[in-house]
Structure 1
């Protein structure tokens, strides 16, 4: 594993970064974070963000490696479930990426994180989210549960639209959850869950 830290822009450091990738031949490169790497770009301009993303994509194609570009969500989005429009800045960032993944804190435990894929060019849409647990010995996250209902881990006041609730409810029911359990997760009546599932 190799590290490279700089306060200069990604474009200025690109030759050195490219040389390091050529030398170490990594499978994946992490850029942390978009705002610092592209300080000279207007993060709210689709045109400038698209130009920045093209630099990243060109590096990926040149070295045939994956690149994880870390970014932050917009302010005051704690009460919203995960969607691509939670990202800060211009939408072209998401448009040009192969996938959008969100890692968020769980309200149920300090060591828990919710991992949600909101977009991927390479696999089917994800319903629900994965629950990860931080292992202090390995300093890595381990999968605690393959499927959890995201809203139940983000605390009070979470906004989930009805279509998303319906899809999550169907998934839970297909995986053995009863209507009583599903109604408890969402805090709605059993009759509401029945309508979502279209079960009489």
Structure 2
């Protein structure tokens, strides 16, 4: 019977041994993996959080530029003479809380130069002076600077395309030259050029 008692005792304690074995397995193998998974998750969330900052890039500079454009808009034929300047300013006051849509702050001197160029273009458009002398250049249509300031050197930092490759400065736009006319292949001028 001694053997029977031992077998019976083994059957009675079997669930406990099973629980002990499972606990040992969990302690040895499961906890390090949970720790590693938690660490990877926290590091990943931390990196994502760092990349999504809420700091706007020079919101006051954005307001200066956009307010100048709002004030200049009624002088251009693309906008109606009864253009709502206060509504435009109210809209950009809120929009500029996000700041300039550039990778870095261009600085107040560049923002001031852009604002002055827009104001000068506004004066020219209001007085119907074309071409308009802005800086060292003449612009044939001052309203082009008001509607698309990023296309001009003074405000080139507004376009992200120019922000990365050329330090925010687009190539100078020369208004006095017309774009070259492309000719079809096989014309008389091509044949004369080859000879």
- TM-score norm. by structure 1 comes to 0.22
Structure richer in helix, relative to its length: 2
Say which one has the larger Rg: 2
Q: Which has the higher contact order (CA 8 A, sep 6+)?
A: 2
- TM-score norm. by structure 2 comes to 0.22
